[in-house]
Structure 1
């Protein structure tokens, strides 16, 4: 995920200072992704450097607000239109399977069972969060959770396939 673009999106709505960006971001993701304050200010510095945002000048400001520039708006809108690549080959568990196969690792059951436990915990956490959300106000997050749950279901089915194939080998 691009913190740069998330900040641009928040600045697109209205000018904000760093702490407001932090709280709005964490509210947007329902506190599932805490954002480091230092990362916010580092990113804001880069956005200003790249002319994508600019600080609003004024006297007596305890916190310096930033606003998005026209160039920043163009960057944000272009980013939103770009499809997102997904690659199985960059999935860490898949890579572990490739490595385990190379070294004739014999503890397949342990690898697969451990991964299943992680997936089940994710399903439980997401289902709990989903049940806490408001269906009218939190539509975007509900859609994200539904998609994630479908991916987790597919991952569980894939692990079952891997398990059956590796246990079928001589």
Structure 2
């Protein structure tokens, strides 16, 4: 989420002060990405330096207001028009964790996957419950309907993201099982059993000199 451009989008609706911007940003995104008010004021200072906002007096309570400039509007609408850059994807902690867990001594990577799958499914259920609440709020209407619609879009993105993560975890576990089976076959040498062709029973690649190997638990999955 581009905090800079999100704040510019709020300023386009009219002059705002720092803590007001933080509150409206979190309301629009359902507090999915909470902001520190100091971060907001730091960003406003950079905007002012770059000519994208200017001081706009004070409100009745004495809060210093900021207003967007033409340069700020140009930057905002340029952001709306250009696709999000995916050439440098953000670091994903889960991907890094599984990459580091592969072959790590004393780490059961399938246990790591199963624990994450449980957490991911729970998050998906929580997002789905919040989606139902957002839909109910939209149906009743009200002054916050625009924020509820924005929050609904964020929630649906989070639901799709967790669904994709759950599928990826299933795929990763299946991939690890297949690679484990291949490694076991490779270690078996000439006596390894070839996989059966569709509709045909397995046939030994060569006559074994010992009793047939027992199928591993992983291979049965």
- TM-score w.r.t. length of structure 2: 0.68
Offset at 1:23? 1.6
**Match among 133, 137, 144 for residue 154 of structure 2:** 144
Q: RCO (CA 8 Å, sep 6+): is it higher in 1 or 2?
A: 1
TM-score (norm 1): 0.87
Give yes or no for the alignment of 1:162 onto 2:207: no
Describe the superposition over 1:67-118 as per-residue Cα deviations: whole angstroms up to 9, x where unpaired. 0000000011111122113467832222222222254664112210121122
CA distance in 2 between counterparts of 1:102 and 1:89 reads 24
| Aligned-CA RMSD value | 2.3
Aligned to 2:130: 129
Q: 1:1-170, aligned counterparts within 5 Å?
A: 1-57=1-57, 62-86=62-86, 90-101=91-102, 103=104, 106-133=107-134, 134-135=137-138, 137=145, 138-168=148-178, 169=180, 170=184
- Alignment length, in residue pairs? 170
1:52–1:72 CA contact under 8 A, matched in 2: yes
SS at match of 1:84: coil
Task: Give 5+ residue unaligned stretches, structure 2.
Answer: 140-144, 185-221
Of 33-42 and 46-55, more deviation after overlay is shown by: 33-42
* 8 Å Cα contact 2:19/2:37 also seen in 1: yes
Greater share of helix? 1
> Residues 105 and 66 of structure 1: is their aligned pair in 2 closer, same or farther, counting only changes over 3 Å?
same
8 Å CA contact retained: 1:135, 1:142: no
* SS of alignment partner, residue 160 of structure 2: helix
CA contact (8 A) 1:55 1:66 kept: yes
Larger C-alpha radius of gyration, 1 or 2? 2
Query: Structure 2 vs 1, CA of residues 117 and 61 (structure 1 numbering), >3 Å: closer, same or farther?
Result: same
Deviates more, 1:34-43 or 1:96-105: 96-105
